Amino acid sequence: MSTREQKRILVTGAAGQIGTELVLALRERFPAGDVVAMYRSSPLSPEVAAGGPSAVGDVTDVNAYAQVVAEHNIDTVYHLAAILSVGGEQNPTLCYDVNLNGLRNVLEVAREREQRLFCPSSIAVFGPDTPAVAPQDAPLHPTTMYGVTKVAGEILCDYYFQRYGVDARGLRYPGLISWQAPPGGGTTDYAIAIFHGALQDGSYECFVGPETRLPMMYMQDALAGTLDLMNAPLKALKHHADFNIGAMSFSAQELADAIAARVTGFECRYAPDARQAIADSWPDAVDDSAARDEWGWSPRFGLDEMVDDMLENLRHGLGKE
């Protein structure tokens, strides 16, 4: 049960990797006409565009954003618009502007209109001094601008909750693996591109080394966790915008081996580039006991289940069944 009735929902960043699927999941759960997909320049997927209302908007323009919210009488916001880790190192100023000034605009409108808010964080909040299994409450010393904005974003959400009572919640997603929409410029994108390489070319050149181990999650689990956190009673939560959630942890080599066991002749080569340093600054896995204790987090997909499902869906899309 929801803690408050959700009347009209806005998803920012609705053309992105998560937004494309979250909009569809929300439209299954709530009347499709009440879920508004907001995008900026990248187009919405045909399914999202055809399945309910949409709006063009830029979260760094507070007046234009507030107008979208007012026009659609928005009650709950899933704020996914962001610049990810690789894009953030290419343009740190843009990353700061979208991820922090944009979030502040979203929080200000949430405060004025008493909205509920979901704002994802990331394993990018952690830095090289984090233990291999990242604790829930650890010192946060990221080395990317993306990570800096995610740490500050968590703190900003907590500030708006403590000071103004804005019910802002968030998860530190691991690298998310999915097949419906392409990833948006992250360090963990190799764990998706490797599937496309395997099915299209029979090979993949991986931009991190074989020993690189990171926390990862299949999109179906990420969507379920997002909706479950938003449905949790507020009084059950001790944390708000900074929950670790884990599902699986594997090295690039282990992923390549799992694919090779299912795609005859697949070969993975390794050519680490600048993204290796970002991957090396993140933990191998996370301790998600707070999410399990406070709102019942429990993932369904491990490495084998994820690889089977990815290959089945991508083969279907490519007509290679």
Contacts of ligand NAD in 85-144 (CB under 6 A): 98, 102, 120, 122
Query: Which of 184, 197, 215, 225 is close enough to bind ligand NAD by CB under 6 A?
Result: 184
Rg of the Cα atoms in the chain? 19
In whole angstroms, the minimum distance from the beta carbon of 29 to ligand NAD comes to 19
H-helix or E-strand spanning residue 224: helix 219-231
Contact indicator for 81, 41 with CB cutoff of 8 Å? no
Handedness of CA 227, 230, 236, 240 (dihedral sign): positive
**For residue 280, what is the DSSP state?**
H
Question: Which residues contact ligand AKB (rule: CB under 6 A)?
Answer: 84-85, 122-124, 146, 175, 186-188
- Look up residue 43 and give its two tokens: 């187009």
Which listed range, 23-31, 160-168, 169-177, 269-277, lies at the site for ligand NAD (CB under 6 A)?
169-177
Contacts of ligand NAD in 60-79 (CB under 6 A): 60
In whole angstroms, the minimum distance from the beta carbon of 266 to ligand NAD comes to 23
Residue 102 interacting partner from ligand AKB, ligand NAD, none (CB closer than 5 to 8 Å by kind): ligand NAD
CA atoms within 13 A on the CB side of 69: 27
175 binds ligand NAD (CB under 6 A): yes
249 binds ligand NAD (CB under 6 A): no
- Look up residue 41 and give its two tokens: 């320049």
The torsion angle over the Cα atoms of residues 50, 55, 56 and 58, rounded to 10 degrees, is: -130
CB atoms under 10 Å from CB of 5, counted, come to 8
Instruction: Given the residues 39, 96, 146, 173, select the one marked as catalytic.
Output: 146
19 binds ligand NAD (CB under 6 A): yes
- CA 37/CA 21 separation, integer angstroms: 11
- CA 255/CA 166 separation, integer angstroms: 40
In 3-state terms, the chain is what percent helix, strand and coil (to 5)? 45, 15, 35
In whole angstroms, the minimum distance from the beta carbon of 81 to ligand AKB comes to 14
145 binds ligand NAD (CB under 6 A): no
Longest Cα pair distance anywhere in the chain, in angstroms? 58
Find where tokens 């601008």 sit. 145
283 binds ligand NAD (CB under 6 A): no
The smaller minimum CB distance to ligand NAD, of residues 15 and 232, is found at 15
Query: Which of 8, 9, 11, 17 is close enough to bind ligand NAD by CB under 6 A?
Result: 17
In whole angstroms, the minimum distance from the beta carbon of 261 to ligand NAD comes to 24
**146 catalytically annotated:** yes
The smaller minimum CB distance to ligand NAD, of residues 60 and 249, is found at 60
Contact indicator for 255, 51 with CB cutoff of 8 Å? no
In whole angstroms, the minimum distance from the beta carbon of 43 to ligand AKB comes to 21
Query: Which of 23, 82, 230, 311 is close enough to bind ligand NAD by CB under 6 A?
Result: 82
Which listed range, 55-63, 130-138, 242-250, 261-269, lies at the site for ligand NAD (CB under 6 A)?
55-63
Contact indicator for 194, 206 with CB cutoff of 8 Å? yes
In whole angstroms, the minimum distance from the beta carbon of 61 to ligand NAD comes to 8
Q: Which residues lie across from 36 on neighbouring strands?
A: 10
Residue 85 interacting partner from ligand NAD, ligand AKB, none (CB closer than 5 to 8 Å by kind): ligand AKB
- CA 172/CA 78 separation, integer angstroms: 14
User: Residues in the site for ligand NAD, rule: CB under 6 A?
Assistant: 12-13, 15-19, 40-42, 58-60, 80-82, 84, 98, 102, 120, 122, 173, 175-176, 183-186, 188
Active site residues: 146
